[in-house]
Amino acid sequence: MRGLPISNEKSLLPSTTSLTEEDLLNTNYNVNNKNKQNWLKRNSKNVGLFIGLFLVLQQFIISPFLNDKDFEKGERKSTCQQLDAIYPKSFNVSSLVIGEKEKIINWLSDAVKINTETYDDFGEVGEDNRWDKFYKFTEYLEKSFPLVHKHLKRTPLYTHAAIYEWEGSDPSLKPLLLTGHSDTVPVLPDTRASWKYDPFAGYFDGDYIWGRGSSDDKSGVIGVLSAVELLIKSGKFKPTRTLLLGFGNDEEIAGNGALAISKYIEEKYGRDSIAILVDEGGNLEEAFGQTFAAPAVAEKGSFNIEIRVETKGGHSSVPPPHTGIGYISQLITALEDHPHQPYLPVTSPLVNYITCAADKAPGIPKNLKKAANKLTDSLTKANGKFDKKALKAIEDWFVSGSVEDGTFQQGLGRAWVSTTQAVDIIHGGLKVNALPESVTAVVNQRINIASSIAELKQQFTDAIAPTARRLNLSIEAFGEEVDTFAGPSAGKVILAGAKIGLEPSPITPYTLEDPAWRIFSGTAKGVYATRPEAYLSEEEASKEIITVPAVGTGNTDTRQYWNLTKNIYRFAWKNDRNKNHHNIHTVDEAIRADDFVEEIRWLLNFIVNVDEARDV
C-alpha cells in the first residue's frame, strides 16, 4: 500500500492512523481549498460585483490614466510622423531671395494696381468688353518677368488664361504643376471709403502690401513667376523634370480658364500625368502654441440652390396676409433655423490634424488631447472599431470649443465639419404698389467632404417643407412635385439647383508612405528651419514646424485638375497670424511683405526638391 499516492492512502486508513508530515501538508491544502470553495459559494454575488467594479474602474479611470502616462513618457505610437528637413542638393536655393526684397514687393504691388475684378454676370470673352482689362495684366507680366517669357513657352488659353512650360531634360518624369489665378472679387463701391488705403493703389506701408488681390490670388501668380524668374537669373538651375505654370483668369466666377488649361495638359501629357499640383488654399497656422503647415488635401463641394416663390399679383392696396416676399422670408428663416448637422467621419484629414496636435502641440486643451489620445488608441487596435465618444468630442471641439479657446475664428471650425448654407442673393418686386408675382433667393451651399449633393437636396427640401405646408404653398423640388393641394393654394415654392454642382473633392494622400507628402512636409521643415527668425536666437532655432492635412472650405481652380493627379496641395507659405485669412474677399485685404518673400523662398525650395526627386 505504501506504493500508492498519499491522497489514496489517506482514503483507506482509519482516522486513528498516524499521518506523516507530507500527509499534514496535503491535508491543510485540501482543507484550505475546501474552505475557499465554500467561501466562494457563500460570496459569489459580492465577488461578481467586485469584478464588475474593477472592470469599470479599469476602463474609465485606470486605463486613461496609464494611457496618458504612456503618452507623457513617449510610449504611445505617434499618429504624427514627420519627415526630416529636405534641402536641395545642387545649391543653396534660399540665397536667391537675398537682395531681392524690394523687387519682389514691387512685382506684387504693381500687379495689384491693375484692376482685374470679375463679376458673376460677365459675358463671354470677346463679347463682354469688361474682360479687356486682362490684356493690360498680361502685358504687365511680360514686361516684369522677361526671363520667364524668354525661356518658357507661353500658350494663351481661353484668351486670358495661360500655361507656361519649362521643358525638363527627362521626359520620363512627371511634371510639377504650379497654379494660380489673376482675377479678383470686386470691391463693393459702398465699402471703398472703408479701406485703409485705396484697394487698387498696391500701397506698401513698410510692412504690408495692401489692395484687392494682394493675397487672393495675385500673390500666388506673382509668387510663382518671381520664383521662376529668380531661378533662371541664377543660372544654376536647369530642370530635369518639366515645370508647368497654369494661371486661370476666372476662378472667382467659373474656372473656365483652368478648365482650358486642364484640357491642354491632358491632351499633351495625358491623364494622371502630373506628379504634384500646388494651388492656393491653406496657410501656415498658429494653434496650441505650435506652428503648422496646413495644406488643404481636400475641399468641400459646392451647390447653389434657388428658392422661387410664385404667387398671384394684384394691387398692393388690397394685400393678402403675406406677399411673395413675406412667404420667402419665412422659408429662409426656416432654412436658417435648421442648419446642417456637423459630421466628422473618422477618415477625415481633420482627425489626423487633431491627433497630430495632441502629439506635438504643447498648448492643446487637455480635454481635446485626452479625446484625441483615446481615439488614437482605439484605432491602433486590431478589431477595427474606434472610440465614437472620443470622435464626437473632437467634432464638438471643432463646432464650439475652437471658438471658445480662440484657436479659430468664429464659424471656421463648424464650417470644416459641416455643410454650410448662406443666403447671398434675393430679388423680388418691381413696383411699390404692385404685389410681386415672383420672388427668388439664392443659397450658396458648401458641402461637407463626408456628404453629397443628393443628401444636400433632401435636407434642404425637408427643412422648408413644414413651413411651406403651413403657409399652404405647394412644393416643386428639383423637377419633382413634392406637395400639392387639392384645393386652391396660396402659391408655389420651386427649388432649383445649379446646372453643374461640385461634389466634394478626392482626398490627397497624407502619410509618409506617399512620396509626394514626404517632399512637401520635408521641404516645409527645411524652409521653416532656415527662416530669418531662426538666426535670431537659440529659442527660435529650436522651434519646428509640423505638417498636418487640412480641408478647404471654399473652392479653387483645383476642381478642374482632378483628372491630372491625386497629389493636390492647396497651400501658400503665408502666416495667418491675425486669424483673418488676410481679409480676402473683404475690406483691407493685405499681405505682409516678409511673408511674401518667404512664400517665394518656399516655392524655390519646393521646385528644386521636386525636380531632384525620383520617387514621385
| Residue 29 pLDDT | 34
Answer for the pair 564, 262: CB distance below 8 angstroms, yes or no. yes
> Which CATH architecture best describes the domain 93-297+507-555+565-612?
3-Layer(aba) Sandwich (3.40)
SS (H, E, C) 148-198: HHHHCEEEEECCCEEEEEECCCCCCCCCEEEEEECCECCCCHHHHHHCCCC
| Residue 328 pLDDT | 98
Q: What's the chain's average pLDDT?
A: 88
Average pLDDT over residues 494-499: 91
Res 558 pLDDT > 90: yes
Task: Give first-to-last CA distance, the chain, whole Å.
Answer: 84
pLDDT tens digits, one per residue of 441-479: 999 999 999 999 999 999 999 999 999 999 999 999 999
480 is catalytic: no
Q: Which band of pLDDT confidence, cut at 50, 70 and 90, is reported for residue 580?
A: low
Answer for the pair 370, 93: CB distance below 8 angstroms, yes or no. no
Q: Which of 303, 277, 282, 257 is nearest to 118 (CA)?
A: 257
Q: Which residue has the cell 476662378?
A: 251
Instruction: Please give the helix or strand (H or E) that residue 232 lies within, else none.
Output: helix 218-234
Q: Which band of pLDDT confidence, cut at 50, 70 and 90, is reported for residue 7?
A: very low
**Residue limits of CATH 3.30.70.360 in the chain:** 299-502
**Residue limits of CATH 3.40.630.10 in the chain:** 93-297+507-555+565-612
Question: Is 582 labeled as ligand-binding?
Answer: no
The CA–CA distances, whole Å, from 71 to 23, 107, 255, 289, 373 equal: 54, 49, 47, 19, 8
pLDDT tens digits, one per residue of 246-296: 999 999 999 999 999 999 999 999 999 999 999 999 999 999 999 999 999
Q: Which band of pLDDT confidence, cut at 50, 70 and 90, is reported for residue 70?
A: very low
Max distance between CA atoms of the chain, in angstroms, equals: 124
Q: Which band of pLDDT confidence, cut at 50, 70 and 90, is reported for residue 577?
A: confident
| Residue 71 pLDDT | 31
Q: CA 561 from chain center: how many Å?
A: 17
557 is catalytic: no
| Residue 43 pLDDT | 54
Answer for the pair 72, 508: CB distance below 8 angstroms, yes or no. no
All three cell numbers of 454 = 443628393
Q: What is the DSSP string of 425-445?
A: EEEE-SSTTB--SEEEEEEEE
Answer for the pair 456, 473: CB distance below 8 angstroms, yes or no. no
| Residue 35 pLDDT | 44
pLDDT tens digits, one per residue of 594-613: 999 999 999 999 999 999 99
| Residue 45 pLDDT | 52
pLDDT tens digits, one per residue of 515-552: 999 999 999 999 999 999 999 999 999 999 999 999 99
Active-site pick, 165, 217, 250, 251: 251
What is the DSSP secondary structure assignment for residue 30, as one 8-state letter?
Answer: H
Q: Which band of pLDDT confidence, cut at 50, 70 and 90, is reported for residue 28?
A: very low
Q: Which band of pLDDT confidence, cut at 50, 70 and 90, is reported for residue 48?
A: low
pTM: 0.85
All three cell numbers of 531 = 527662416
Res 319 pLDDT > 50: yes
Let me know if domain 299-502 sits in CATH 3.30.70.141: no
| Residue 21 pLDDT | 34
All three cell numbers of 550 = 487640412
Q: Where are the beta strands (DSSP E) in 344-436?
A: 420-428
pLDDT tens digits, one per residue of 51-60: 455 444 444 4
| Residue 126 pLDDT | 86
Question: Reduced to 3 states, what is the DSSP secondary structure of residue 282?
Answer: strand
The CA R_g of the chain, rounded to the nearest whole Å, is 33
All three cell numbers of 83 = 519627415
Greater confidence, 518 or 47?
Answer: 518
Q: Where are the beta strands (DSSP E) in 369-488?
A: 420-428, 438-447, 473-477, 480-483
| Residue 78 pLDDT | 58
Res 355 pLDDT > 90: yes
What is the DSSP secondary structure assignment for residue 27, as one 8-state letter?
Answer: H
| CA–CA dist 498, 483 (Å, integer) | 22
Res 76 pLDDT > 80: no
| CA–CA dist 365, 43 (Å, integer) | 45
| Residue 80 pLDDT | 82
Residue type, 578: N
| CA–CA dist 536, 34 (Å, integer) | 77
Question: Is 252 labeled as ligand-binding?
Answer: yes
Question: Is 377 labeled as ligand-binding?
Answer: no
Q: Which residue has the cell 482626398?
A: 507
Question: Is 322 labeled as ligand-binding?
Answer: no
Question: Is 250 labeled as ligand-binding?
Answer: no
